[in-house]
Amino acid sequence: MNSMNDARMKNSFKLKQPSVIPGFGFALGFTLLYLTLIVIIPLSGLFIKTATMPWHTFVSTVTAPRVMSAYKISFGISFIAALVNVFFGLIIAWVLVRYKLPMKKLFDAMIDLPFALPTAVAGIALSTLYSPHGWIGELLAPLGIRLAFNPAGITIALIFVGLPFVVRTVEPLLQDMDAELEEAAAGLGASRWQTFSRIIFPYICPALLTGFAMAFARGLGEYGSVIFIAGNVPMVSEIVPLVIITKLEQYDYAGATAIALTMLLASFILLLIINLLQRWGNGRMKS
C-alpha cells in the first residue's frame, strides 16, 4: 500500500511541475495563426484570383504549348537533378562520416554554401564557369559540348542548389548508425555489397526519400540561379517560374496565378506520393 501511495504522489508531483512548453490551447492557437498568416492566406489568394477566370480560359492558359513545355522542363529536370543529388549526396555524406578528412570543416562549409549564397550570385557564377567563354565552357566548346544556355545548364544549377538537402538529411543517420550491425554482418560472411544493400540502405532509405523530396521541391521553385544559365528560350529552356514572371510583367495576373495554382497542385500531389513512399519505407524498416 505504501509503495502504491508513493507512486501516486510521485505521479501527481510530476503533473504539477510547470512545463517549459506552453499549454496545448495556446500552442495550437499560435500554430494555427502563424500558418494562416504565412501559408493559408497567400495560397488562398491563388485560388481566389484564379476563380475570376472562366473555366475555358483557365484550361487554355494552363495548357498552352509554351506552358506545357515549361512544365516538362521544370518537372523533368528537377526530377533528374534530384536523382543525381541522391546518388552523389549519399557518397559525399558517406565520405564525411566514415573517413577522417583534412580540412573537414571546410568541406562542410562548401556543402552548405548553396543555403547561404544568393541564388542570383550562384547563377552568375555558374554562367561564368560553363558559358562558351567561361573557364570550363571554353575547354568543352571545341568538343561540341555546351553546358550553358540549354537544359543542361538548368540541370547543373538545380544540382548545385539541391545537393545540401540530401547530404544534410542522410548524414545524421549515418552518424547514428550502430557500427556493430556491419561488424555482425561481416562476421556472418556477408560481402560489402550485401552489407550495404541489406543493412545500410534500408536504414537510410527514408532519409534518402526525404532528401530527394526536398531537392525536388527546391528545384521546382528555383528561379534566380536558373535564369542566368538557362538561356530562357521558349519551348527549349524556359522554366515555369519564368513563364509566371513573364505573365506578371504583361499584367496578366489571372494567367500567372492560374499557372502557379497548377504548379502548386501538381507539386503537392508528387510530394504527397513521395511522403507516402517514405512512410511505407519507415514501416518496412520497423517491421
239 lies in some domain: yes
**Percent share of the chain, pLDDT over 90:** 23
Closest CA to 170 of 126, 205, 131, 221: 205
Lowest mean pLDDT of 13-27, 86-100, 257-271, name the range. 13-27
- Give CA angle at 210 (208, 216), nearest 5°: 100
Assess if residue 46 is contained within a domain. no
Among 16-20, 66-70, 87-91, whose mean pLDDT is lowest? 16-20
37 has a pLDDT exceeding 70: yes
Count structural domains, the chain. 1
> CA 152, CA 146: separation in Å to the nearest integer?
8
Q: What mean pLDDT value characterizes the chain? A: 83
Q: Is residue 131 part of a domain?
A: yes
Residue 100 covered by a domain: yes
Rounded Cα distance, 220 and 73, in Å: 10
pLDDT at position 259, please? 92
Would residue 248 be called left, alpha or beta, if left means φ above 0 and alpha means ψ between -120 and 50 degrees? alpha
Q: What is the pLDDT of residue 13?
A: 46
Look at residue 157 and tell me if it is in a domain. yes
Q: Residue 273 is part of which domain span?
A: 57-286
Separation CA 49–CA 93 (nearest Å)? 44
Rg of the chain (C-alpha set): 25
> Looking at this protein, which amino acid is placed at residue 32?
L
pLDDT of residue 75: 92
Indicate whether 96 belongs to any domain. Answer: yes
Cα–Cα distance, 94 to 274 (Å, whole number) = 23
Count other Cβ atoms within 10 Å, centred on residue 120. Answer: 13
Is position 279 within any domain?
Answer: yes
Higher pLDDT among residues 55 and 182, named by residue: 55
Q: What is the pLDDT of residues 197-216, one digit of tens each?
A: 888 888 888 889 889 988 99
First-to-final CA distance of the chain? 40
0.95 exceeded by the pTM?
no
Q: Where are the alpha helices (DSSP H) in the chain?
A: 2-16, 24-35, 41-50, 55-62, 65-98, 104-116, 119-130, 137-140, 151-176, 179-187, 192-195, 201-221, 224-230, 240-249, 253-286
pLDDT in tens, 174-195: 888 877 777 787 777 777 888 8
Q: pLDDT tens, 124-158? A: 889 889 988 888 888 888 888 888 888 999 999 99
Contact between 200 and 82 under an 8 Å Cβ cutoff? The reply is no
CB burial of residue 27 (10 Å; 0-12, 13-18, 19+): exposed
Per-residue pLDDT, 15:
47
Residue appearing with cell numbers 494555427: 32
Residue 88 has pLDDT above 60, yes or no: yes
pLDDT digits (tens, 9 = 90+) for 234-283: 888 899 999 999 999 988 888 999 999 998 888 888 878 877 876 776 66
Q: Looking at the domain assignment, is residue 195 inside a domain?
A: yes
We report the CATH number of the domain holding residue 201 as: 1.10.3720.10
Q: Report the pLDDT value the prediction gives residue 22, as an integer from 0 to 100.
A: 60
3-class SS shares of the chain: helix, strand, coil, % to 5 = 80, 0, 20
State the Cα–Cα distance between residues 157 and 123, nearest whole angstrom.
7
In angstroms, the Cα distances linking 111 to 159, 161, 171, 199 are 12, 10, 12, 27
Containing 182, the helix (H) or strand (E) segment is helix 179-187
- Among 49-58, 96-105, 159-168, top mean pLDDT goes to 159-168
